[in-house]
Structure 1
Amino acid sequence: MRPPSQYNEEIGPEAESEPDPRLSAMLICTRLAGRAVTRVIERCNDAKENSELNLSDCQLMQVPDAVYHLMRHTELKICDLSNNVITKIPPKFAIKFSLITDLNLSHNQMSKLPNECADLKCLERLDISHNTFISIPDCIFKIPQLVHLNSSNNHIVDIEINLLKEAPSLREINLRKNPISQNSHEELSNISHINILLTPREKEEWEDLTI
């Protein structure tokens, strides 16, 4: 039995006028993803001209495999991966981009680096600030030409002092705004051949015997 025609007229248009909110969200995500892909391709093309790959603010969770393909005939000198949501760098990154002199990994979500980073034989400047490192990866201290390291604004508590002292070319390391332990802070303060930037350490209540 068919319902009265007046109900069809009232219900039909109303039902058709309500779009599915999930569809709108999917369309927005698709547009954003499309723009991010286009941005990456455009910047890879720019890098072929100036040897400087800038992939900052590209919504990346990792370095896309397409980047290695697009850059296969380009000798990169500078690589900027800052302001993304990257959690790790694969070993092949250091192999494919072994000639870079400046690498910016700041403002991501990384807590470790592959051992292959020690093979970045031309790297002079490295920025790993504003990540989630709880220690400085050992491979960093083995990079032969590394002069400047920015590791500020992480969660670093202790430093491998011996590895730091043996770093072949390191001249400056920024460790500001890290929860450096008392022992490491004191040992770092006694190193003179490397300029070590530290946030002045405030004593905990249990350390202050005057209270």
Structure 2
Amino acid sequence: MRNLYLRVFTICTCLIISCTKEIEADLITTIIEDDFEDVNNVLLKIVEDNPDNTLNWSTSLDNINNWEGLVIENNKLIGLDIENKGIKVLTPTINLLEDLTVLKLKNNELSNIPNELFDLKNLENLSLSGGTNLTVQADDFLPGLFSLSNLKELSLDRIGINEIEGVGSLNQLEKLILEDIPLDIIPSDLGQLTLLEELNFTNNNFFEMPEGFFRLINLESISLVNNKNLTTIPEGFGVFTKLDSLTITGSEGIQKFVSSISEATTLKKLDLSNNNIGFLTNEDGIIPDEIGMLSQLTDLNLENNYINSISARIGELVNLKTINLRNNKIMDIPMELGALTILDILDVSGNLMLNEIPEEVCKLQDLGAIIISEGECGDLRVSSEYGFNTTEVGVSSLFFIDVVLDAIIDPVFVDGDGPFDLDFGEIGFQVHEVNKEDVLNREDTQDQVLVTESATQQFINGTNNLSYELISPSVPNIDLQEGRTYRVRLFNTEFSNVKTYLPAYELMVLE
């Protein structure tokens, strides 16, 4: 009997434990559903408030596991990535997503940024883009933003504030991107962001970088892009011992290549394009000898400046793969550049004063390098004694265009010391319209070759220092517009079967 009682007791105990487990499982499910009820309501509210969104969300929760942009971990919504999805309205109940560590809303057209967003104290990554109707008061926006003390990545785009004083309180930041924000001043407390690895200021209004900038010793990437009021590149880059990429571009006030850049010896990418380096004086229009210190450099972009001289020490940068010197005033390429045996691309096009490219450099083509220039590498070129001439002409006088050129031609000999009887071909010219709407883009307007004519004089005897005068009148085949600039470009019409463009005249048509 005693054994019977013991069996009954054991069975009852097991039943009780089993029932208890089922109850606990139901309770856990209920808790999870209750936790997600607020989350579900917030997500549905986002869909409801933004009928023109491009999300794949529906008004039903049946397939929520397939909704894009949701990151769920341990039954908690920790990430919401809905960038570029046509979101205009952000519900104030966003603060119910209290487990969020990532909230990405960039490339939307937000018409409001509710203060409740700043209740999300667990955020580590935040990106926001304003819309055309967004109005933000810095006194309301900044205190809330700076209360997110766990932020590691912050990206703001088109937010109408002109200051970020207090940004130093976000001392966990590793990445800071501010684009299309009318910042007048970058505060010194920027230097408190000592963990910062990436800094990007694009389309702002500030004039200079603060002293605290040089306390950001962990920076690996610096991008200062299209900051129109920036007039100087700051000194002191030697403190950035981890810097991999430096981009300072699109600032017309920058007129000098700061040699201290070369102190950042870990640099692999350097982009100083679309500035006015060398604009004031010839002395400033140089790539200095200090550039030889950048032994790790792989990419160098100095396009659209006024640089006229390249240091021979560029040949020491044996890791270079791309060099972009397009649209400058360069006259000579140093033969030392021929030591860059792993070079993939050298672009020297648009340098209308450029003499013949050295044979040592041209040989890089045999190793697979692409050399982009006016004509083929080693083609006949006008000597550096020839320069630009600008002429103003009245509209009424434009019946003929007279091109007068005094130049010295260096003949090219074939195998031996020469001289040989070589046909240098005819010298022709074209008239192009020059794009002056953007002073940084000094390219010939496409499809605007107005005149193509050949000169009447031809040289066939290969003797050194051939001097000649070329006068070739021609009537334009379309009218030249008033107030525009045109370029007369001379070229060799037959040599090597390429048109080797020579230095140019520029004509300004008076109103």
* TM-score relative to the length of structure 2: 0.30
Q: 1:36 to 1:170 in 2, by over 3 A?
A: farther
Task: Give the counterpart of 2:211 among 61, 65, 86.
Answer: 65
Alpha-carbon shift at residue 179 of structure 1 (Å) = 2.9
Q: Secondary structure at the match of 2:304?
A: coil
Note if contact 2:288-2:310 (Cα within 8 Å) is conserved in structure 1: no
1: CA distance between counterparts of 2:166 and 2:206? Answer: 9
Q: 1:151 to 1:40 in 2, by over 3 A?
A: farther
Note if contact 2:222-2:246 (Cα within 8 Å) is conserved in structure 1: yes
Does 2:246 correspond to 1:103?
A: yes
Q: Which amino acid aligns with 2:374?
A: P
Residues 52-201 of structure 1 correspond to what in structure 2 (within 5 A)?
52-69=198-215, 71=216, 75-84=218-227, 85-92=229-236, 94-108=237-251, 109-133=253-277, 134-160=285-311, 162-181=312-331, 184-187=354-357, 190-191=360-361, 192-193=363-364, 198-200=372-374
- Extract structure 1 runs of 4+ deviating beyond 3 A: 39-50, 66-69, 182-185, 192-199, 201-205, 207-211
Alpha-carbon shift at residue 177 of structure 1 (Å) = 1.6
Moved more, 78-87 or 147-156: 78-87
Alpha-carbon shift at residue 117 of structure 1 (Å) = 1.9
2: CA distance between counterparts of 1:39 and 1:197? Answer: 48
Percent identity between matched residues is 24
Aligned-residue Cα RMSD (Å) equals 3.7
Q: Secondary structure at the match of 1:118?
A: helix
Q: Which amino acid aligns with 2:288?
A: P
- Where does residue 61 of structure 2 map in the other structure? none
Q: Which amino acid aligns with 1:149?
A: L
Larger strand proportion, structure 1 or 2? 2
Q: 1:113 to 1:154 in 2, by over 3 A?
A: closer
Alpha-carbon shift at residue 199 of structure 1 (Å) = 4.9
- Where does residue 486 of structure 2 map in the other structure? none
Q: Which amino acid aligns with 1:57?
A: N
- Where does residue 15 of structure 1 map in the other structure? none
Alpha-carbon shift at residue 62 of structure 1 (Å) = 1.5
Segments of structure 2 that go 5 or more residues without pairing to the other structure are 1-138, 140-159, 177-192, 278-284, 332-351, 376-380, 383-387, 389-402, 408-426, 429-454, 456-469, 471-511
1: CA distance between counterparts of 2:249 and 2:196? Answer: 22
More contact order relative to length (CA 8 Å, sep ≥ 6): 1
Note if contact 1:189-1:196 (Cα within 8 Å) is conserved in structure 2: no
Alpha-carbon shift at residue 56 of structure 1 (Å) = 1.9
- 1:69-103 CA-partner distances (Å, limit 9, x unpaired): 5x35xx111110111132222322x0332311011
1: CA distance between counterparts of 2:254 and 2:271? Answer: 12
Larger helix proportion, structure 1 or 2? 1
Q: Which amino acid aligns with 2:230?
A: I
2: CA distance between counterparts of 1:145 and 1:178? Answer: 24
Note if contact 1:121-1:144 (Cα within 8 Å) is conserved in structure 2: yes
Segments of structure 1 that go 5 or more residues without pairing to the other structure are 1-30
